[in-house]
Amino acid sequence: MVDSLIHPHEAKPEIWVYLEHEGGNLQTVSLEILGKGRQLADEMGWPLCGLLLGEHVVHLAAQVFEHGADRAWVVEHPLLGSFTIDAYAAATFQTVMKGKPSVLLFGATPDGRDLAARLAVRLRTGLNADCTDLRIKRESGVLVSEVSGFGGGVLALIEMPDHRPQMATVRPGVFPVPGSMPGSQGETISVRVDLSPQMIKTRIIERHTSSTIDLTRVPVLVAGGRGVGPDFTDLEQLAHLLGGDVGATRPPVDAGYIERERQVGQTGVGCSPELAICCGISGAFHFVVGIEKAETVIAINSDPEAPIFDYADYCVVGDIHKVLPDLVQALQAARELTHD
């Protein structure tokens, strides 16, 4: 087995969290991992550190401390103004080699997955991808990552005792966002990195911030599957009436009927709504894993044998194109009645 560049004996007993940010705010998944990181750091008596990269980002350190970190490692450089994998991988590698943390965590987002994978190869360490839980063994400091495998049929607990840093990407929505502690202070460590334009193969022509969809925290999720067809209007109306938002299984996303950010499930987002209404969805494990934290599940499906009914608290056997318009109409009538 190849040795990691950082030997376990020289790794510092610290937990680092790579922090994604947009528009001057830390992303929700980064806050979630900071919250979990704080819990692990307290159990181990280790410091929790945030890793911030960008062009002008040092002011974000205040948010990092307010969400539980003891230190912020800040890397500022004009070539880090927009995310390019070449610049970010080089800057993160150089910073990790300076700080030598024992544990390094990322959000399982498109950028987080890309960056963590490249970094793991450069550091010659392992990467536990798409984790759903984390703990650290008190006596050895070994990170134990919970990962669902074989299509979700098994939950695997993965350890890497001989390589550092112990790296993992964490699925968005699995940990709660910690409360903020305004005014909390910490130590800011500014790092100089060596980057040049020749290192960067990506040329950014235009930047689109496509949406602010975040299904991880919606109170009501109205999810549609292949049975809905191309038109999600009824689902949007229902979600609007119930103060929620619309999600989908993979087939409607792949067909281009709805945005990819709305995909729920193993390769989409995990949601924890009070109520999930599943419309025209068969109930494949890859989808169900995304709503397993829902408090109440209602399923509407024309097939009485659909597996989704095994997961649902309330089962409606019927055609979605008849049930949904009736439901929307009834809710609208009830709303008008209460407004009269």
Shortest distance, CB of residue 26 to ligand FAD, whole angstroms?
Answer: 25
Closer Cβ to ligand FAD, 162 or 313, answer by number: 313
Cα 153 to Cα 133: distance, rounded to the nearest angstrom: 16
| Pairing mode of beta strands 127-131, 166-170 | parallel
Shortest distance, CB of residue 226 to ligand FAD, whole angstroms?
Answer: 4
Cα 95 to Cα 230: distance, rounded to the nearest angstrom: 47
Closer Cβ to ligand FAD, 166 or 263, answer by number: 263
| Pairing mode of beta strands 71-76, 48-54 | parallel
Shortest distance, CB of residue 247 to ligand FAD, whole angstroms?
Answer: 9
Exposed, middle or buried by CB within 10 Å (0-12, 13-18, 19+), for 24? exposed
Closer Cβ to ligand FAD, 87 or 306, answer by number: 306
Q: What is the DSSP letter of 24?
A: T
Shortest distance, CB of residue 103 to ligand FAD, whole angstroms?
Answer: 27
Closer Cβ to ligand FAD, 51 or 308, answer by number: 308
Shortest distance, CB of residue 327 to ligand FAD, whole angstroms?
Answer: 13
In degrees and rounded to multiples of 5, residue 108 shows phi and psi of -85, 60
Closer Cβ to ligand FAD, 30 or 266, answer by number: 266
Buried b vs exposed e over 212-231: b needs ≥16 C-beta within 10 Å? eebbbebebbbbbbbbbeee
* Site residues, ligand FAD (CB under 6 A): 225-227, 249-251, 263, 265-268, 280-282, 284, 286-287, 300-303, 306, 319-321
